[in-house]
Amino acid sequence: MIPRKAPEAQAVAIRHVAIIMDGNGRWAKARHLPRVVGHQRGVEAVRRLTKAAREMGLEALTLYAFSTENWSRPEDEVTALMGLLKRFIQADLEEFCANNVRLKIIGDYRALPADVVAMLGDALARTAGNTGTTLVVALNYGAQDEIARAAAAAAAKGAVTVESIAAELDTADLPPLDLLIRTSGEVRLSNFLLWQAAYAEMWFTDVLWPDFTPEHLAEALAAFDARERRYGGR
């Protein structure tokens, strides 16, 4: 059971949480294991946090899985990450459907290997009608790329305004971002949700992603409850 206040006892309802899942490599290094083992354990953390988000009633959980900059990693690591992604979605698709979880991808995922694109297309189609928590996976995602694509799409339709860009972002159909978490002690955004983070609360922890638990998420949500969001007002 996750120590979480009942929704009616929360100061504000939290609808959308995003996580920069960082520290898989350092987790493995500390144990003298190959980096890929850290990534495998990272997938286990994704599973438990997806379940926790659903049980906590979040409308959306957005996970940064592969950035536009991560292509610069060694080819064998990129290949291993793509394989893990594919196996995770394939293995958990029935679980998503059984629990009304909708899958959504942000980022230009069509640039991923063809077999991964095909598998994702199938998973997106099969979960499209689900109405529970949306699991948003950021793949080949970079906020600068997203904003540039959105601005171009807005310009092609007419006036470029804050509203017209926002309507073209990959996240346009999601609730506003409430809380952004980063694990592993790094305090930077690494090109994640730069637009959406304008008034999101931030929570940083030294915990490495493979060690992240639903209790850590509950801790972050409790910290969020204690904050006063002012949106520039007073």
* Residues involved in catalysis: 22, 70
Q: Which of 4, 14, 22, 35 binds Mg ion (CB under 5 A)?
A: 22
Among ligand IPE, Mg ion, none, residue 66 binds (CB under 5-8 Å by kind): ligand IPE
Q: Are strands 134-141 and 179-182 parallel, antiparallel or unpaired?
A: unpaired
Backbone angles phi, psi at 81, to 5 degrees: -65, -40
The contact mask relative to ligand IPE for 150-189 (x = CB under 6 A, - = no) is ----------------------------------x-x-x-
Residue 2 contacts residue 215 (beta carbons within 8 Å): yes
Task: Answer positive or negative: Cα dihedral of 166, 170, 174, 178.
Answer: negative
Q: How far is the CB of 108 from ligand IPE (least distance, A)?
A: 14
* C-alpha to C-alpha distance for 130 and 220, rounded to whole angstroms: 27
Query: Tokens 């992603």 correspond to what residue?
Result: 209
Q: Does 10 bind ligand IPE (CB under 6 A)?
A: no
Q: Which of 14, 17, 18, 21 binds ligand IPE (CB under 6 A)?
A: 21
Q: How far is the CB of 38 from ligand IPE (least distance, A)?
A: 6
Pick from 89, 70, 86, 80: nearest CA to 20: 70
Q: Does 190 bind ligand IPE (CB under 6 A)?
A: yes
Q: Which of 22, 146, 168, 170 binds ligand IPE (CB under 6 A)?
A: 22
Report how many helices (DSSP H) and strands (DSSP E) the chain contains, helices first. Answer: 7, 6
* C-alpha to C-alpha distance for 212 and 196, rounded to whole angstroms: 23
Among Mg ion, ligand IPE, none, residue 26 binds (CB under 5-8 Å by kind): ligand IPE
* C-alpha to C-alpha distance for 40 and 93, rounded to whole angstroms: 18
Q: Looking at 14-22, 73-81, 200-208, 211-219, which segment touches Mg ion (CB under 5 A)?
A: 14-22
Q: Does 70 bind ligand IPE (CB under 6 A)?
A: yes
Q: Which positions touch Mg ion (CB under 5 A)?
A: 22
